Structure 1
Amino acid sequence: MKKLQVLFVILLCSACSKEQSNSDKKKHIAGYWEIEQVLFKGKKKEYSISNTVDLFYLENETSGYRKKVTPTIDGKFLGNENESTIELVTKNDSLFISYKNKIATWDEYVKKADSSSMVLLNDRGLQYHYKRYESLDLSNEKTN
């Protein structure tokens, strides 16, 4: 009976540790993302407040653009013309976002992307942790 319990625990752990599929990651990339922290060589830089948000916009399943935007108090966003085209690319069974703008081209590995968080890793070892942007809801504020 103990052997059966141990086997069950091992199977449960292996099922829980399965890596997220690339198709599942792709479903969650589009949208507004707020940087939470950046990890590099064991050091962590936290971003408690940021006045810009990264917009990942997909025109189809694999291509679109990324742009820095600034949220406004009325729930809209201000942006500029500086944007990078993006393409979702699978290399060696791993999902990457390939960026291109007027200055450079680069890739970031999509380590995780779900409904609430996203983790991107670049070739210099920087790991970007994002949380899904939530606008301020001022509609329930009490006025005196």
Structure 2
Amino acid sequence: MRRVLLYILLLYITSCTTTDPKEHIQYLDGYWEIKKVVLSDGNEKEYKFNQDIDFFEIKDSIGIRKKVRPKLDGSFTVTDNQEVFSITIENDSVRLHYKNSLATWKETIISAKENEIVFKNETGNVYFYQRYQKLQL
């Protein structure tokens, strides 16, 4: 219950800010690693290690999201998992609209900073990402 209240407080605080949602887009480009997911029922799943990293690339209002795998030498193996999306501003929020042969869906950027992005999908799940840091061996 405490986690649910903390989550609601976080959403309330971030929704009360007057940041221009277009400013969120500047942070999206690059490599992002999922930290945790807060499911719509309040349960949390934390990720200690990620085999795959999300790579975002934006040009104008169109973007690509690819899954990549980091290698020990600092390079990446690109997986076959890739989605194209369009970006719109709706109700003072940035929305990513995805469409492929199987489905259409959207995500909303709840907050975005240089090292953290939070997305919410249509089912109410909230995804917390941190900027990917290369492996230090």
TM superposition score normalised by structure 1: 0.79
TM-aligned CA deviation for residue 100 of structure 1: 2.0
2:69 touches 2:79 (CA, 8 Å); kept in 1?
no
| Aligned counterpart, 2:78 | 79
Residue identity matched to 2:54: D
Pairs aligned (count):
122
Structure 2: give runs of 5+ residues left out of the alignment. Answer: 1-12
User: In structure 1, what is the Cα distance between the partners aligned to 2:81 and 2:95?
Assistant: 21
User: In structure 1, what is the Cα distance between the partners aligned to 2:84 and 2:44?
Assistant: 28
| Aligned counterpart, 1:129 | 128
TM-aligned CA deviation for residue 98 of structure 1: 0.9
Name the SS of the counterpart of 1:24 in structure 2. helix
* TM-align CA RMSD: 1.6
1:118 touches 1:129 (CA, 8 Å); kept in 2?
yes
Structure 1: give runs of 5+ residues left out of the alignment. Answer: 1-13, 139-144
TM superposition score normalised by structure 2: 0.82
| Aligned counterpart, 2:51 | 51
User: In structure 2, what is the Cα distance between the partners aligned to 1:134 and 1:84?
Assistant: 23
Could you tell me the percent identity over the aligned residues? 34
**What's the CA shift string for 1:14-73, capped at 9, x where partnerless?**
9xx524321210100111100000001211100011111011111x13112101110001
> Structure 1 residue runs of 4+, over 4 Å off?
none
Return the index of the structure with the highest Cα Rg.
Answer: 1
1:88 touches 1:98 (CA, 8 Å); kept in 2?
yes
| Aligned counterpart, 1:119 | 118
**What's the CA shift string for 1:54-105, capped at 9, x where partnerless?**
11111x1311210111000111111123311011111122111111233212
| Aligned counterpart, 1:26 | 25
| Aligned counterpart, 1:38 | 37
